[in-house]
């Protein structure tokens, strides 16, 4: 699945275009490597690191979503990891 689509389905962004723009312009890491490609492929088990506002999110992908569902369904797509 595409990184921008997963971030949108996990409800980190309101729209997919906002997720796409964020990945293109910000330092988002996939398994420790910086990427600016919204089409970067993500699979369960990968670790994403990105900053939103004043908070740094470090999440491990647990599942790929079928749709952008309600918040509890979106929360089940990842595990939050404490940043170092």
Per-residue pLDDT tens digits for 45-69: 999 999 998 999 999 999 999 999 9
| Three-class SS of the chain | CEHHHHHHHCCCCCCHHHHHHHHHHCCEEECCEEECCCCCECCCCCEEEEEECCEEEEEEECCCCCCCCCHHHHHCCEEEECCC
What span, in angstroms and rounded, lies between the C-alpha atoms of 82 and 72? 20
pLDDT computed for residue 8 by the predictor: 97
35-77-1-20 Cα dihedral, nearest 10 degrees? -50
Is this prediction's pTM over 0.85? yes
pLDDT computed for residue 82 by the predictor: 83
Range of the domain at 19: 3-81
Q: How many domains does the chain have?
A: 1
Residue 28, domain CATH: 3.10.290.10
């Amino acid at each position: 699945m595409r990184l921008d689509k997963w971030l949108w389905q996990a409800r980190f962004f309101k729209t997919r275009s906002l997720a796409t723009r964020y990945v293109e312009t910000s330092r988002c890491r996939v398994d420790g490597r910086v990427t600016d490609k919204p089409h970067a492929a993500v699979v369960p088990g990968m670790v994403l690191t990105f900053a939103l506002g004043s908070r740094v999110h470090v999440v491990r992908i647990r599942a790929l979503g079928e749709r952008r569902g309600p918040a509890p369904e979106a929360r089940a797509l990842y595990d939050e990891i404490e940043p170092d």
